[in-house]
Chain A
Amino acid sequence: MKRIIIPILCLLSVQILLAQENTASVNARWGVKAGWTEGYTYDEHTSPLFYQYDVMNIGGMYQRQGAFLLDVSLTLKIGTNRPKQLGHRTGTITETPDIYGHIESYEIKAYPFFSMVSGDLKVRALWQLSGGHQLGASLNARHIYTGMAIDDWHYTQLDIAPEYQFSYRLLRGDLTGSFSLPLLAGVVRPNYAFDPSLPDLTNYYRGYLRTSSSLVSLNKLFSPRFRAGYTWHFSSGESLGASYFAAWTSYPDPRPMRMFENGIEVTYFFK
């Protein structure tokens, strides 16, 4: 029995030493990603309609593995947003008649095909716990700009969240799942009457920043995020991954707004 235990202990010791060696050395890499997101928005403050968006994601990533994992990810999303039940619509605007009684009219497209842009920046730091468990924190910035109720609509969220990740070694890759829940956030969203036009402001978004920015915590903003995926590591040092993600956001001011989005992403890390 002793003959078996000692070699196992030796092997484990070597493994631990190697692991410590790996974590002590700094290993940085860059990556790119592409994917697709489908989302739903209901903003009682803006429209009685339920909106659906479909956007393409592209982005870049940076990972640095040292004493902890630093993970930076920037995602840009562009696509279409429209009321789910009604789709893309056009309306006819009529001008005031001229002196001859002629009335000019023109069509407006309420929701053109490209009607949504959005950006997400995520910076997270994760420390290794026992086994595949990792715990850390993330800083997330999110801005959405789209059309809703035949007008502009935007939502900005900057939050800090504890983040948990579990990794499981499977074949030549890692199966990973992560979860985060913002505890503190700054939110900018259209105020009650939507209109922040002020005598000393020349930019509506700056007006919104001044009149409708809020610092909120979990009791107001509930915005959990989940991601699961598999990353295949090539012997050449590159890696290829695919993941599914989902996020929910609910915010009550000035009237309830709820969003759900989910999608898939393919990631590629360079050597």
Chain B
Amino acid sequence: MKKIWFIGLLFILVSSCEKYIFGVEYSNNPEDNFEALWSEFDQMYGLFKVRNVDWDAVYDQYKPMVDDQTSDEELYHVLVDMLKILDDGHVILLPVGTDLPMYKGGPIGRIDTIQDFDLDLLKEHYLSEPQETDFAILYDWLEDGIGYVYFYNFADGEKSFDKEIKPVLDFFKDAKGLVIDIRGGEGGEDIAGKTVASHFTEEQRLYMTTSIKNGPGPDDFTSPEEWYISPRGDFQFTEPVVLLTNRLTISARETYALAMRTLPQVTIVGDTTAGAFSNLVLRELPNGWGYSMSIGDWRAADGTSYEGVGLPPDIVLQNRRGDVLSGKDEALDKAIELLR
């Protein structure tokens, strides 16, 4: 009987005294939620230096706004205001279990209506028989000898994207030029962009370096990893390519653009990209709200960081909303003109 009591006591201890037995650091109260968010960014966010943010000063400014009487809504606004300082497209706050909206940082988070691009309107006015691969690519002829390739996402690995791009390049094998469109849509994995870009190069080229935060200190980063593209597939497409970008071109789309811009046959047309290159991690607060943050320092081959700035196109051409709604895509028209 004593043994049963002992086991029962152990159960109670383990299931109710987690703070002491497991060392659980935070409780679910407004101050701990604030501390948990601030300190996790302090230790893991990879772009304070690049974005020139003094995170300690941010703490001093915002911490006094939170006390044990702070409501969920008030806490949400304090946290959002604090995160806005980072202006990072990879920073999201998802207040799970409340009616409060999801916060998205960076230029994409500020958009209330897309001004310059709509894939459905483009399909309606420029494409006649668009085809799709399994999950990532839409493609068609724009006119004689000029092909159009749109990437829905870069959301898988090397094997998948070799399989995705192969039928597309076989289809356009004899094209005199290609428009590759990476406006809008989702990000994905950098390895996908690297794989696709490797089908367009005849030699190995360095295009990016990445360092990831690997410790709590401000200078704790891994030594830079070098990312190269090198010839891939049965043949490489070396005819002229126009890459279309806009402010919604984010993350893995941008690292793909970094790879493509190293190629001599590629011209980038459109608007500057979103400026959020680094990988991100997802985390949560003691109250269960989710958030994400950038964890590394992603740079172009020459060492330049485009974080928070975006990759500028070779030819700047910002579509007007009215034009797009009436079926005219000026950036695409320019691309066709360059390839004719």
CB distance B214 to A89 under 8 Å?
Answer: no
Beta-carbon nearest neighbor of B116 in chain A: A99
Q: A42-B22, A193-B214, A193-B296 are in contact. Are A199 and B226 (CB under 8 A)?
A: yes
CA distance A98 to B112 in the complex (A): 8
Determine if B18 and A84 form an interchain contact, defined as CB atoms under 8 angstroms apart.
yes
Interface pairs A-B: 6 shortest CB-CB: A91-B96, A42-B22, A202-B157, A193-B295, A199-B227, A101-B113
A120 within 8 A of B: no
Q: Is the CB of B14 within 8 A of A99?
A: no
Whether A42 lies near B18 (C-beta < 8 A) is yes
A174 contacts the other chain (CB 8 A): no
> Which of A43-51, A130-138, A162-170, A234-242 makes up part of the contact surface?
A43-51
Is the Cβ of B212 less than 8 Å from the Cβ of A193?
A: yes
Q: Looking across the interface, which residue of chain A has its beta carbon closest to that of B295? A: A193
User: CB-CB < 8 A to B190: which residues of A?
Assistant: 197, 199
**Contacting residues, chain A, for B281 (C-beta < 8 A):** 151, 193-195
B97, CB-defined interface residue at 8 Å = yes
Contact of B22 among A90, A93, A151, A258 (CB under 8 A): A258
Contact B94 A98 (CB under 8 A): no
Q: Determine the residue in chain B with the shortest Cβ distance to A197.
A: B279
Contact pattern, A 81-116, Cβ under 8 Å of B = 1, otherwise 0:
001111001111110111111000000001000000
Residue A260, interface by CB 8 Å = yes
Contact of A97 with B114 in the complex, beta carbons under 8 Å: yes
Q: Which residues of B contact A244 (CB under 8 A)?
A: 7
Q: Is A66 an interface residue (CB 8 A)?
A: no
Q: Which of B24-32, B142-150, B236-244, B303-311 contacts A (4 or more CB under 8 A)?
A: B24-32
* Distance between Cα atoms of A209 and B209 in the complex (Å): 21
Chain B residue nearest in CB terms to A259: B22
Chain B, residues 96-130, CB within 8 Å of chain A (1/0): the string is 11000110100010011111011001000000000
B264 at the interface (CB under 8 A from A): no
Residue of A nearest to B33 (CB): A48
Chain B hits for A254, CB < 8 A: 215
Tell me the smallest distance from the CB of B253 to a CB of chain A, in Å: 13
Q: A44-B23, A93-B102, A94-B102 are in contact. Are A149 and B114 (CB under 8 A)?
A: no
Starting from the known contacts A89-B96, A150-B283, A256-B23, 7 additional A-B residue pairs (CB-CB under 8 Å) come to A40-B14, A40-B22, A42-B24, A96-B184, A110-B288, A194-B295, A199-B228
Max chain A Cβ within 10 angstroms of own Cβ: one of B115, B228, B281: B281
Asked whether any CB of chain A lies closer than 8 Å to the CB of B290, the reply is yes
Check if B194 is an interface residue, CB within 8 A of chain A: yes
CA distance A254 to B227 in the complex (A): 26
- Chain A residues with CB under 8 Å of chain B are 40, 42, 44, 46-50, 52, 83-86, 89-94, 96-101, 110, 149-151, 191-195, 197-199, 201-203, 244, 254, 256, 258, 260
Contacts of B283 in A (CB 8 A): 46-47, 149-150
Complex interface: chain B residues within 8 A of A46 (CB)? 283
Do the beta carbons of B214 and A191 come within 8 Å of each other? yes
Q: Which of B144-201 contact A (CB under 8 A)?
A: 157-159, 184, 189-191, 194
The minimal Cβ–Cβ distance linking A263 to chain B, given in whole angstroms, is 12
Residue pairs across A and B with Cβ atoms less than 8 A apart, 15 shown, are A46-B283, A47-B283, A83-B288, A86-B288, A96-B114, A96-B184, A98-B118, A149-B283, A151-B282, A195-B281, A195-B295, A197-B190, A199-B190, A244-B7, A260-B21
**Closest residue of chain B to A192, judged by CB?**
B214
Inter-chain CA distance A94–B248, complex, in Å, is: 15
CA distance A82 to B98 in the complex (A): 18
Any A CB within 8 A of the CB of B46: yes
Contact with A along B214-254 (1 / 0, CB 8 A): 11000010000111100000000000000000001000000
Asked if B114 and A199 make an inter-chain contact with CB atoms under 8 angstroms apart, the answer reads no
| B213 interface residue (CB < 8 Å to A) | yes
Q: In the bound complex, what is the Cα–Cα distance between A199 and B204 (angstroms)?
A: 13
Query: How distant is A222 from chain B, measured CB to nearest CB, in Å?
Result: 13
In the assembled complex, the Cα of A192 lies from the Cα of B284 at a distance in Å of 16
Interface string of B4-44 (1 = CB under 8 A from A): 00010000001100100111111010001000100000001
Question: Residue among A49, A85, A98, A244 with the most chain B CB within 10 A?
Answer: A49
- Chain B nearest CB: distance from A10 CB in Å? 39
Per the 8 Å Cβ criterion, residues 46-101 of B in contact with A are 46, 94-97, 101
Contact B290 A91 (CB under 8 A): yes
In the complex, which residues of chain A have a beta carbon less than 8 angstroms from the beta carbon of B24? 42, 48, 50
Within 8 A of A (CB), among B290-332: 290, 295-296, 321, 324-325
Contact of A192 among B94, B114, B215, B321 (CB under 8 A): B215
Assess whether A99 is in contact with B324, with CB atoms less than 8 Å apart: yes
> Which residues of B in the span 270-292 have a Cβ within 8 Å of any Cβ on A?
279, 281-288, 290
Q: Are A40 and B18 neighbours in the complex by a CB distance under 8 Å?
A: yes
Q: How far is the CB of A235 from chain B (nearest CB, A)?
A: 30
- For B21, the chain A residues whose CB sits under 8 A away are 258, 260
Residue on B nearest A39 in the bound complex, by CB: B14
Contacts A42-B22, A91-B94, A194-B295 given; indicate if A99 touches B321 (C-beta within 8 A). yes
Asked whether B284 lies within 8 Å of A96 as measured between CB atoms, the reply is no
Q: Could you say which of B18, B184, B210 has the most chain A C-beta atoms within 10 Å of its C-beta? A: B18
Cβ distance B158 to chain A, nearest Cβ, rounded Å: 4
- Chain A residue nearest in CB terms to B40: A48
Q: What distance in Å separates the Cβ of A11 from its nearest Cβ neighbour in chain B?
A: 35
A84 CA to B210 CA, complexed, in Å? 37
A192 to B108, CA, bound (A): 28
Given known pairs A93-B94, A193-B295, the reply for A100 and B113 (CB within 8 Å) is yes
Assembly CA distance A191 to B212 (angstroms): 10
